[in-house]
Amino acid sequence: MVMPQQQETRILLVSAVASGQGKTTVTAALARKLVRQGLRVRVFKTGPDFLDPMLLERASGAPVHTLDLWIVGLDACRWQLAQAAEHADVILIEGVMGLYDGAPSSADLARAFGVPVLAVIDAGAMAQTSGALVLGLRDYGPVDLAGVIANRVGSPGHAQMVAASLRDVPLLGTLPRQPQSLPERHLGLVPPDEVTALDTLLDLLAEQLMLDDDVWSRLRPARLELPAAPTVSAPSATALAGKTIAVARDAAFAFLYPANLDCLRALGATLSFFSPLENAPVPGNADALYFPGGYPELHAEILSKANVWQASLRAAHAAGMPILAECGGMMALADALTDQQGETWQMPGLLPGNVQMQTRLAGLGSQGVATVHGQLRGHTFHYSKLESTVAPTAHALKHPSGDAGEAVYRVGALTASYFHAYFPSCPAAVAALFLGQDWIGA
C-alpha cells in the first residue's frame, strides 16, 4: 500500500476587498519575480475565468488551472494543489472578486485547505485607513492573513504610513503606480498574444514589486497530503477511445478550461486543432467538433468571409456530426452576428437566430446542467443576446439559487449554449454529448 506523501511548499491565496484592486497584476508580478529568482512557481485561479489564467501562465511559465469548490469540487481541488506542491517551491492562488464574495468564496477555499491569505490593497487614495481595511478582511471570516501587498503606492513615506497602520499584519511588499496598465476590453484582460511587449511589461512589474525578504522568510510552508489520483469512472474511461475531436482554436475561440482538453484525452479521445480564422475546413478525420468561447465579435468579418470553413461546417452538421458550441462558439454558428459597431455579419447558420452585442453584461455566474449522468457544472459570462426561434431543450440552473439560467439548444447533433461546461465535473455526460447520444436529463 502506497502511503500518502507530504510536501512542504509556500502557498498563498492572493485576494482583496473587491475587483479592481490589482490582484491579477500583483499575482503576475510576484510570480514573475519569484521565477526570476530561480524558484519553481505554480499559479491557480479561483472561480471561472479564462483570461487571467492566460496572463498568469505567461508570467509563471506553467499552465494555470482552476480551483473552485463547487465547479471543480473539493477533492479535485485538493488533488491539484497537492500535485502542484510536488513540483513547486511556491503556489499562488489568485482569488475572485472580493475575499468573501460568492458562494463558495475565496475565503472558503483558503479555509478548506488551510492556505494563508495575501491581501492586495489599492493604497492609491488612502494611507492609515489601510489598516482598518486589512483588519476587517482578516477578522470578518476570519482567515489566516499572512501579509499585505500595497498596490499603487506613491512613495517610500506613503509605504511607511501603510505599514504602520497594519498593526500586527506584516507589509510583505509594495508596487508603485503604473504608467501603463494591462489592457482590457469588455470581457476582461486582452489575451497575452495580442499585447505588445508583454514579457517586457511583466519583467518591469517584477522589478518594481518590492518585497520584504524578512517577512517572506517567515511565511510558513504548508503541508499537503497527496491523495489518491482522481480517476474517470468506468465505463466512461474509454468512452471516446478511437474518436477524434476537432477543436476550434485561434483568437476567436480561445476561451476554454485546460482541464477540458485533459478530460477529453482521459476519455480516450484524440484532439485535432484547427483555425476558422484561417478559413481551415473541418479536419477530415474528425468524429466530433468543439467550438469553445472567445471573441468572435472582434473577428466577425473574417469569419463571415471564411467560405471554406463555413461550407465544411454545414456539411459536417448535415451529416450528423456531434458539435458542441459554447458561448462565443454558439455566437459564431448562428445565422448572423451584429458586432459592437452595429455591423451585421452572416455566420454559418447552424443555429437559427441572430446574435446582438450589448453594452451591458447579459450573464454572469456559476451554473449547472442536469444530465442523465449527473450534473455538468460550469459558468456563464457574456455581453451578447441571442434571439432564436428554436425552443430550448433545457436550461442550466444558477448556483446557488437554483433559478433558471442559460438556455441549452439542440439542432440535430449540435448542442449550443452560453453555458461554459467544466468537463471533469461530469465526464460521462461529456462523452455522451460527443458521441451524439442523449445526455440531457430532466
pLDDT tens-place string over residues 286-318? 999 999 999 999 999 999 999 999 999 999 999
Residue extent(s) of CATH 3.40.50.880 domains in the chain:
236-434
Residue 190 has pLDDT above 90, yes or no: no
Q: What is the mean pLDDT of residues 238-242?
A: 93
Output 228 or 135, whichever has higher pLDDT. Answer: 135
Please report which confidence band the pLDDT of residue 184 belongs to, taking 50, 70 and 90 as the band edges. low
Local confidence band at 4 (pLDDT 50, 70, 90 cut-offs): very low
All three cell numbers of 166, joined, read: 497594519
Looking at the predicted structure, is the pLDDT value of residue 221 above 90? no
For the ranges 200-214, 220-234, 240-254, the lowest mean pLDDT is seen at 220-234
- Does domain 236-434 bear CATH number 3.40.50.880? yes
Percentage of the chain exceeding pLDDT 70: 91
Query: How confident is the model at residue 5, as a pLDDT?
Result: 46
Statement: residue 229 has pLDDT above 80 = no
The per-residue pLDDT of the chain, averaged, comes to 91
Model pLDDT, residue 188: 56
Which residues on neighbouring strands pair with residue 67, listed in sequence order?
46
**Residues 170, 30: contact at Cβ < 8 Å?**
no
Give the model's pLDDT for residue 99: 97
Handedness of CA 167, 173, 174, 175 (dihedral sign): negative
- Computed on alpha carbons and rounded to an integer, the radius of gyration of the chain in Å comes to 23
Average pLDDT over residues 354-363: 90
Q: What is the mean pLDDT of residues 382-399?
A: 95
Residue 235's pLDDT is: 61
% of the chain surpassing 90 pLDDT: 81
Tell me the sheet residues that pair with 416.
325, 409
Q: What is the pLDDT of residues 424-433, one digit of tens each?
A: 999 999 999 9
Q: Which CATH superfamily is domain 5-226 in?
A: P-loop containing nucleotide triphosphate hydrolases (3.40.50.300)
Q: Which three cell numbers stand for residue 331?
A: 455566437
- Name the residue type at position 184: E
> In which residue ranges of the chain is CATH 3.40.50.300 found?
5-226
Residue 57 has pLDDT above 80, yes or no: yes
Q: How confident is the model at residue 3 (pLDDT cuts 50, 70, 90)?
A: very low
- Spatial neighbors of 51 by CB under 8 A, at least 6 apart, are 187, 188, 189, 190, 191, 255
Query: What is the spatial distance between Cα 142 and Cα 305, in angstroms, rounded to a whole number?
Result: 55
Quick check: 2 pLDDT over 60?
no
Active site annotation includes 77? no
The yes-or-no verdict on residue 368 having pLDDT over 90 is: yes
Q: Round to whole Å and give the CA distance between 318 and 300.
A: 23
Name the active-site residue from 77, 263, 327, 426: 327
